Chain A
Amino acid sequence: MNEELLVTARANDLIDPSLQIWTWEVAMYLFLGGVTAGIMIFAAVVALMKRDETAPFAATRLALLAPIVLSLGMTTLFLDLEHKLYAFRFYTTFLVLSPMSSGACILLIIYPVSFLQILSTLRRGAPQAGEFVDRLAMGRAITDWCERYRREISLVALPAGVLLGVYTAILLSAFSARPFWNTGVLAPLFLVSGLSTAAALVALLTRDHGERAWFTRIDIVLIIVELVLVALFLINLATGSAKQIEALECCVMGGPYTFAFWVLFVGIGLLIPLVLEIMEMRGLGKPLALAAAVLVLFGGYTLRYVMVEVGQESTWTRYPTQYNAELLERLDR
């Protein structure tokens, strides 16, 4: 017997009986941050590969989504803050060893780069907005400049996107106190998931059949790579420290999040869309591609949600008994 019980009250909100500090808001931010990273990377790659003709949506309109998606993510992140009025403090200090501080800095880089990326194809991607910008002398000059230097902007957007995709994972993996997160495999896993969800977004939104087929092929490769990374992640935990093995066993191999991890994420979010996309490649049509894309986006969010939740369950400190206010009420009767 080795039992550790709490004998005085400890029912700190969001901390006891197990951490519940981050829920859907943070998972949604990590998901949308990953999608934004994928959007910027694909928009840059298409420009660098000069695939404007074969990938018209990704070349001219995809980048428009980046600041919208990222801003939605930052909104949910703001909702998660407990001391909201002090959110400006993210921008009064820069602490290089804190991934959150670095992340705040990366977001400062992402917005201007994203706007330059948008301007470089605005006249073709959104002609009405292009006309509006052209009415201003300065807007016209900046747009001309962006169009001229589209290749150079893409060369900056590509690493910026990778940085954004990777940092959301490093943010979690830096927590040595949470054994489930404490692995470097999270970074490539989140990056590939971000790319996969962005590819799915293109497949969902483009009207060009050839482009949809191209991005579906890309997504098939990305899903296979993601499955390999998920396997590496599990192997990493299963062969890790006692705390990591415990985290894996209690959460993914028979715990409360087993269903979400295996059925919702691996099954519905990765394997089913993979099969649907392969079937589509064999000529079984557009509805399958659209269904697959929706499932990939669902899988991307589920991955973040499961990671955020399970990571909080994994801990060094666990006391089997907790303060229960109901017991005190029973005494009064």
Chain B
Amino acid sequence: MTRYAMVIDTRTCIGCGDCVVACKTENKVPEGLNRDWIVEATRGTYPNLTTEFRSERCNHCSNPTCVTLCPTGASHTWKDTNIVLVAAEKCTGCKACIAACPYDARLVMHPDGYIDKCTFCHHRVEEGLDPACVSSCPTHCMHFGSLDDPGSIVSKLLKTRNHKVLHPGTGNEPNVYYLT
């Protein structure tokens, strides 16, 4: 299985939101819905404050509970990878996957009613391109690649930089990493 990961440098992210716009444009996400978003995390006591910007989305977990709990197989992993997709023609809109996601990263597609989410732009990955959000990042703080390839940019960054994932305690083994 190819394990794709996204590595985002919180030290160079400025929270501009271009990744959010790129995703909406590339994937024609309807108005009012978002597959990715930006969080500004502030820690400390004034005047000793630190701020971190995080571009967040589906973590394409190695242990995706949304896929396990989906009753129809609509939520599935793409080919032999960890990229989690939803097959609209199999989705009943029961919303079990939404409840199963610890990151609240899924959405109900309007007006159709099937469940939608970040796809790591698998249609671009298939052509050897980066996801739209990664390609559009003006500070080049976002990186994408395979963790199975020790020479990939994501493998190299994770080997040399301090990093974290969100809510590792869920046991879902997320694959979006944040360099700190």
| B169 within 8 Å of A (CB atoms) | yes
How far in angstroms is the closest Cβ of chain B from A285?
Answer: 45
| A75 within 8 Å of B (CB atoms) | no
Return the contact of B106 from the options A15, A101, A104, A311 (Cβ within 8 A).
A15
A312 CB contacts on chain B under 8 angstroms: 99
Q: How far is the CA of A38 from the CA of B94 in the complex (A)?
A: 25
Using CB atoms, name the residue of chain A closest to B91.
A83
A95 CB contacts on chain B under 8 angstroms: 70-73
| A174 within 8 Å of B (CB atoms) | yes
| B49 within 8 Å of A (CB atoms) | yes
A316 with B32: CB separation less than 8 A: no
A15-B107, A83-B91 known; A7 vs B39 contact (CB < 8 Å): yes
| B44 within 8 Å of A (CB atoms) | yes
Q: How far is the CA of A102 from the CA of B74 in the complex (A)?
A: 15
| A6 within 8 Å of B (CB atoms) | yes
B40 with A7: CB separation less than 8 A: yes
B103 CB contacts on chain A under 8 angstroms: 316-317
B114 CB contacts on chain A under 8 angstroms: 82-83, 86
A12 CB contacts on chain B under 8 angstroms: 32-34, 107-108
Question: For window 1-15 of chain A, which residues contact chain B by CB distance below 8 Å?
Answer: 1-15
Q: How far is the CA of A311 from the CA of B68 in the complex (A)?
A: 19
B153 CB contacts on chain A under 8 angstroms: none
How far in angstroms is the closest Cβ of chain B from A83?
Answer: 3
How far in angstroms is the closest Cβ of chain A from B168?
Answer: 10
Q: How far is the CA of A308 from the CA of B135 in the complex (A)?
A: 41
B33 with A13: CB separation less than 8 A: yes
Q: How far is the CA of A100 from the CA of B32 in the complex (A)?
A: 29
The count of chain A contact residues (Cβ–Cβ below 8 Å) is 51
Interface of chain A, helix or strand or loop or mixed?
loop
Using CB atoms, name the residue of chain A closest to B70.
A98
Residue interface mask A289-333, B partner, CB < 8 A = 1 = 000000000000000000000011001110100000000000000
| A92 within 8 Å of B (CB atoms) | yes
Q: How far is the CA of A317 from the CA of B32 in the complex (A)?
A: 20
A89 with B37: CB separation less than 8 A: no
| B1 within 8 Å of A (CB atoms) | no
Q: How far is the CA of A171 from the CA of B70 in the complex (A)?
A: 11
Return the contact of B92 from the options A5, A16, A89, A311 (Cβ within 8 A).
A89
A7-B15, A10-B37 known; A15 vs B69 contact (CB < 8 Å): no
| B96 within 8 Å of A (CB atoms) | yes
Question: For window 167-189 of chain A, which residues contact chain B by CB distance below 8 Å?
Answer: 174-178
Using CB atoms, name the residue of chain A closest to B63.
A176
A82 with B169: CB separation less than 8 A: no
A97 CB contacts on chain B under 8 angstroms: 68-69
Using CB atoms, name the residue of chain B closest to A181.
B99
| B160 within 8 Å of A (CB atoms) | no
How far in angstroms is the closest Cβ of chain A from B76?
Answer: 11
A98 with B71: CB separation less than 8 A: yes
A8 with B17: CB separation less than 8 A: yes
| B98 within 8 Å of A (CB atoms) | yes
B34 with A8: CB separation less than 8 A: yes
B94 with A1: CB separation less than 8 A: no
How far in angstroms is the closest Cβ of chain A from B87?
Answer: 9
B39 with A13: CB separation less than 8 A: no
How far in angstroms is the closest Cβ of chain B from A305?
Answer: 16
Return the contact of B95 from the options A82, A99, A101 (Cβ within 8 A).
A82
| A128 within 8 Å of B (CB atoms) | no
Q: Which of B68, B104, B170 has the most CB of A within 10 A?
A: B104
Question: For window 33-84 of chain B, which residues contact chain A by CB distance below 8 Å?
Answer: 33-34, 37-46, 49, 53, 65, 68-74
| B161 within 8 Å of A (CB atoms) | no
B32 with A13: CB separation less than 8 A: yes
In the complex, besides A9-B37, A175-B99, 9 extra interface pairs with C-beta distance below 8 angstroms are A7-B15, A14-B108, A21-B99, A86-B114, A103-B71, A174-B69, A175-B69, A315-B102, A317-B167
What are 22 A-B interface contacts by the 8 Å CB criterion? A2-B43, A4-B39, A6-B37, A6-B38, A7-B38, A7-B40, A12-B34, A13-B110, A19-B98, A21-B95, A21-B108, A82-B114, A86-B72, A98-B71, A100-B71, A175-B65, A175-B69, A175-B100, A176-B102, A317-B103, A317-B104, A319-B39
